[in-house]
């Protein structure tokens, strides 16, 4: 697998090796030792989540506060998404900056998002299935969200906002600035 750290420290794009033949394909979706060797990170995933979304559904930007902060390894099983990570670490030199990557069932790429980042994605096709591993269990009392359209972040979703389908919970999310005034 090819593991490349992105512009935001700690965010990695992972391109697995895919072995294809007339029967189909095989790939390792995660290998603990190889991941640790290539990133220097010791990650122990404890929960896998899966969602199905139609085109235009935007989920996020979600995070969990310590002690339940989550690192995530995101991949698409079916369809395609625009996957986004936003640095929400107040002491980071890249606070408020974001990175977006198109993950598809064809490219089979994965995005590793470390603690201290908000995460969200936009489904670009109907019946898109996303799977992600987390290194901490979900805790409703520790969850948080940042507005997907916060102008201070400026994510370029490249989709008409009037056509987005967003949960009320995500529409009620806070601004990035409000995280600092907490």
Task: Show Cβ contacts of residue 112 under 8 Å, excluding neighbours closer than 6 positions.
Answer: 11, 12, 13, 14, 39, 71, 72, 73, 74
* Whether the Cβ atoms of residue 43 and residue 71 lie closer than 8 Å to each other: yes
Percent of the chain surpassing pLDDT 70: 99
Q: What is the pLDDT of residues 47-102, one digit of tens each?
A: 999 999 999 999 999 999 999 999 999 999 999 999 999 999 999 999 999 999 99
Q: Which of 25, 10, 30, 17 is nearest to 131 (CA)?
A: 30
Question: What residue numbers bound the domain in which 130 lies?
Answer: 2-180
Q: What is the pLDDT of residues 135-171, one digit of tens each?
A: 999 999 999 999 999 999 999 999 988 899 999 999 9
In the predicted model, is pLDDT for residue 182 greater than 80? Answer: no
The mean pLDDT of 5-15, rounded to a whole number, is 95
Percent of the chain surpassing pLDDT 90: 91
Work out how many domains the chain is built from and give that number.
1
Q: What is the pLDDT of residues 91-103, one digit of tens each?
A: 999 999 999 999 9
CATH number at residue 113: 2.60.120.10
Distance (Å) of CA 37 to CA 31, 33, 40: 10, 6, 6
Catalytic residues: 62, 132
């Amino acid at each position: 697998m090819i593991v490349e750290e992105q512009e935001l420290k700690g965010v990695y794009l992972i391109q697995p090796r895919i072995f294809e033949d007339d029967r189909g394909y095989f790939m390792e979706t995660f290998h603990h030792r190889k991941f640790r060797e290539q990133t220097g990170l010791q990650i122990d995933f404890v929960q896998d989540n899966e969602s199905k979304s139609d085109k235009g559904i935007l989920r996020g930007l979600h995070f969990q506060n310590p002690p339940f902060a989550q690192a995530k390894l995101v991949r698409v099983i079916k369809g395609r998404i625009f996957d986004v990570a936003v640095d929400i670490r107040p002491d980071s030199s890249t606070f408020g900056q974001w990175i977006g990557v198109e993950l598809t069932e064809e490219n089979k790429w994965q995005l590793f998002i470390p603690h201290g980042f908000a995460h969200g994605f936009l489904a670009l096709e109907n019946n898109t299935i996303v799977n992600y591993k987390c290194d901490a269990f979900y805790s409703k009392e520790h969850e948080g969200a940042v507005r997907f359209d916060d102008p201070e972040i400026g994510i370029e979703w490249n989709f008409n906002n009037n056509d987005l389908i967003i949960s009320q919970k995500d529409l009620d999310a806070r601004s990035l600035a409000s995280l600092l005034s907490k």
